[in-house]
Amino acid sequence: MSVDREAEDPVVLQEAVLQEALRGFVRAFGLHQPESTPCGQPIPVSEAHALGELARSGELRQVELARRLRLQKSTVSRLVGQLTDRGWVERGPARDDGRGVVLRLSPAGQRVAHNLAEARREKFSRLLTSIPAHERPGVLHALRVLTEALDE
């Protein structure tokens, strides 16, 4: 396909618009800055997500944490090591399996997770109020559709 035909192809144009819109969103939301969260906390994004999952569940096996975060087991193993070194995560025996190991937040990890959750709540509250009320259902729908498309 020639450059001129590509420029006229509506699908190619839509792909370019989608790419630019997502690029703009990633940058505006701060997702290209992996050493701090979009809500401004000086914690790597992957660590914040892991803390959030553990806070939500109470305890998880490492393989389940990997599944929820959509990360490779080896990546989560390093991540858990970092969180353990920081004193935020503890390993303990699984209640249903004496040989199994689960991850839990330490008291320090619970405080960090609480602070992250509060910063996230404030950020999303500000963000939501910045979106006109009549546009909110469409924005939420578009995010669900994008997530489902990425899951395919």
Low-confidence residues in the chain, pLDDT < 50: none
Q: Which tokens go with 73?
A: 């087991």
Q: 14 phi and psi, to 5 degrees?
A: -65, -40
Diameter over CA atoms, the chain? 66
Q: What is the pLDDT of residue 4?
A: 57
The alpha carbon of 83 is separated from its chain's Cα centroid by a whole number of angstroms, namely: 16
Express each pLDDT in 59-84 by its tens digit.
999 999 999 999 999 999 999 999 99
Task: With 0.75 as the threshold, say if the pTM is over it.
Answer: yes
pLDDT given at position 7: 62
Predicted confidence at residue 47, as pLDDT, reads 95
Amino acid 5: pLDDT: 55
